[in-house]
Structure 1
Amino acid sequence: MKFPKIGPAFLVTAAFIGPGTIITASMAGANYGLALVWALMFAMFATLILQEMAARLGIISQQGLGENIRQAIKQPVIKACVVVLVVSAIVIGNGAYQSGNISGASLGLVSVAEQLGWTVTFAETLFPMLIGICAFVLLITGSYKIIERALVVLVGLMSVAFIVTFFLSQPQWHELISSFVAFKLPTGATLTVIALIGTTVVPYNLFLHASTASTKWQSVKDIPTARKDLFVSIPLGALISVAILSTAASAFFGKQISLQSAADIAPALQPLFGESASIFLGIGLFAAGISSSITAPLAAAFALSGILNLDKNLNALGFRLTWMVILIIGVVVSSVGFKPVAVIWFAQVANGILLPLVSIFLLWIMNTKVLGEHRNNLWQNIAGAGVILITLLLGARSLMSAFGLL
């Protein structure tokens, strides 16, 4: 059996397994045990459906999703509104969440240092700057292959760390296996289910995947390779999420331990499973944070370059300026400890509209002449429509949360 080539889908996995996913999956495990594992499986299938469309679009059109949206909308007013919305959501949204990525990676390093008995002066400022420098060095190379290989290493490290932690937590195997198909919805768990899906199915990854697929592959013959890449990478991300949820369920479920942030997880594991578990989790948190710190600016640059008709070459000035701005925002916010409540509020509003909107545009474009004979078939359209219904629920949830209605 020939092992499938690793490609752009690994970037998608690196993007959605970040500190946000870690705390969401951990809180799901801590509050509801293994009851919501099925939600992660649904999120995986929804991601596969949308990301397959994005990859196919990138390969056939040799353009990213942003370029295709801009070219498909002919009405000037609607086009202007879409452009403003996408630009606002990408810049402000990614800027806000980038600070969380860098903070999460920093917390992982702090946790590992503490468990090893090291004292680091000004760690809250030093670590975010070091992580920002690492991300900058990788992105400034302008080499897709270097970035891809670095992310493969980080995703591999993250996978080993979380899966080892999972085994150290001694999960209840029978209960875990049955939870994949149990479809239980405990009282009060609806928003947690939506959050688990929302941390996996994100609009930025659709822009990222379409653009990187068009960069890596230039022939229709590469579509099967892109699908193999997808069917390896996304399930790996789901496996990591399940490992995090299960670890939290073993450690915290029914024990009245409150988790408020990713910083609470690693130290709380030590009394239960020993020093090695908390060290592995700290390493996983670091790898998840830094991998997302690389992909978030990259996704923003691809999306803006496409929607604004700029050069999407990794060495282009506009492309570099975009990811630099996102990276700088993340480093500054995480270094000073500023909690950007207003910025995150706006990001919730923008993403609440952007997620279903981008999904609808993607499904529409997948049925146009741009794809030719590779346009969606009936079953792909049915699956895509089903996912869009879920994205509409996610969007409604984000908006209602942002306006204090939840």
Structure 2
Amino acid sequence: MRTFFKNIGPGPLVAAAFIGPGTVTVCTLAGVQFGFTLLWAMVLSVIATIVLQEMTVRLGLVTKKGLSEVIRQELSTPLVRGFSIILILSAIVIGNAAYQGGNISGGVLGLETLFGASSINLGHLQLNSYSLIIGVIAFVLLYTGNYKIIERFLVFLVILMSLAFLTTAILTKPNMSALFKGALIPKFPEGSTLLIIALIGTTVVPYNLFLHASLVKEKWKAVSDLSYARKDTIIAIALGGIVSMSIIISAAAITSAEVSNAADLALALEPLFGGFAKYVLATGLFSAGITSAITAPLAAAYVATGCLGWHSSLKSARFRAVWSIVLVLGVLLSSSGLKPIQIIKFAQVANGILLPVIVGFLLWVMNRNTLLGTYKNSKVNNIFGGLIFLISLLLAVAAINKVFNLNVF
């Protein structure tokens, strides 16, 4: 048991990254609008995430490099390499800045549900007090440059978030027969297509593929640790999936059409289960926001330093500069007056378009014998990876369709 806890590592950080306000919002809408019917989409998402994240774990441990470093190294044609680096940099760094606004805004919603609204004036600029608080916490934690401190803090918040959402789901006393039916039997109710795609897209997150490959180098030093890294990945992501499903289950208990995010869900559950439910859910939403507010800038820094060939030390000046820029932009966006849902939707569109490109790159490098040798993908890995690639293409088409109103669906 002691060895098990000692080897809990980047997995919970990846779970913390994908269970952000975007996931909470999408799961809430899925539960309110379709009850347990779309639980199967979350089960599919968790399987896909485990498959892809296991590949990045293998890549990081064997090569001792992050995904962006490997892509930069393996693309020998200058034009292709340059285009790929620009695409990845713009989508991940800019996309994460947008996500950061949504992450901080989600944490703010949780605090506002508990304590009410609060803002401060800096000259002509009005900032949300809670945005600044969350930004300062994230800055201090990242600036320490100590992986163990960051890991332990995020593991604590993931446990807190898990307990909050699981407790809320249990309070609703769900019909277990209907729950398992929704989780195991795929159904496509009218008007659910984009929500199904959103459930998958908010769980299979492109920047997590970069983050995980880089973090395994911080936690483990030898390929012999691969079994520990795999267990860590499977357990953490499965737990993250259960937390996401708990949000759907909680939201399914609500009949009000006015629920559009987890803050609304917290207030809607209060008449049924008392003020306790509001505090528990608001704590979960705050935890979801702040964990993602830490991992998004961290991922952006790993991607930027890897793509540009910089040293990716947690304490290097360039590394700190990248995450600082993303963090500051996130605080400003969350205080801009834009609704959090608008910020989150923008970032999801960017990630939806990028996902098949990143999955394609990952499958390509994972089949390179010169890079991975006996640790390259097996046929089973490639079959599952190919299916996920096709699903990610569907996500990209849906994202483009949403932006340009092409009426593909």
TM-score, normalized by length of structure 1? 0.94
Tell me the percent identity. 49
Name the aligned partner's letter for residue 388 of structure 2: V
Query: Partners of 2:349 and 2:27 in 1: how far apart?
Result: 23
Residue 303 of structure 1 pairs with residue 303 of structure 2: yes
Query: Partners of 1:324 and 1:121 in 2: how far apart?
Result: 22
2:49 alignment partner, SS class: helix
Instruction: Tell me if the contact between 1:366 and 1:375 (Cα under 8 Å) persists in the aligned partners.
Output: yes
Query: Partners of 2:183 and 2:341 in 1: how far apart?
Result: 35
2:197 alignment partner, SS class: helix
Cα offsets for 1:195-238 (capped at 9, x unmatched): 00000001100000000012222211011000010111000000
Quote the residue 1:285 is aligned against.
Answer: 285
Cα offsets for 1:266-324 (capped at 9, x unmatched): 11111122111111000000000000000000010011111111111000111100000
1:133 deviates by: 0.3
**Which structure 2 residues correspond to residues 261-340 of structure 1 after superposition, within 5 A?**
261-338=261-338
Residue 377 of structure 1 pairs with residue 378 of structure 2: yes
Quote the residue 2:365 is aligned against.
Answer: 365
Structure 1 residues 370-379 or 166-175, which shifts more? 166-175
Query: Partners of 2:153 and 2:223 in 1: how far apart?
Result: 27
Which of 206, 213, 217 aligns to 1:214? It is 217
Name the aligned partner's letter for residue 388 of structure 1: F
Change (3 A) 1:238 1:349: closer
Cα RMSD (Å) of the superposition? 1.9
Change (3 A) 1:162 1:385: same
Query: Partners of 1:256 and 1:376 in 2: how far apart?
Result: 47
1:350 deviates by: 4.0
Q: Which runs of 5+ in 1 are unaligned?
A: none
Structure 1 residues 350-359 or 323-332, which shifts more? 350-359
**Which structure 2 residues correspond to residues 5-404 of structure 1 after superposition, within 5 A?**
5-114=7-116, 125-250=128-253, 252=254, 255-338=255-338, 347=347, 350-368=350-368, 369-404=370-405
1:180 alignment partner, SS class: helix
Q: Which runs of 5+ in 2 are unaligned?
A: 121-125
Quote the residue 2:123 is aligned against.
Answer: none
Residue correspondences, number: 399
1:162 alignment partner, SS class: helix
Query: Partners of 2:162 and 2:263 in 1: how far apart?
Result: 19
2:188 alignment partner, SS class: coil
Query: Partners of 2:31 and 2:181 in 1: how far apart?
Result: 15
Query: Partners of 1:206 and 1:273 in 2: how far apart?
Result: 39
Cα offsets for 1:118-159 (capped at 9, x unmatched): x85659711010000000010000001100000000100000
Structure 1 residues 258-267 or 359-368, which shifts more? 258-267
Name the aligned partner's letter for residue 162 of structure 1: F
TM-score, normalized by length of structure 2? 0.93
1:345 deviates by: 7.8
Query: Partners of 2:180 and 2:279 in 1: how far apart?
Result: 27
Name the aligned partner's letter for residue 54 of structure 2: E
Instruction: Tell me if the contact between 1:44 and 1:238 (Cα under 8 Å) persists in the aligned partners.
Output: yes
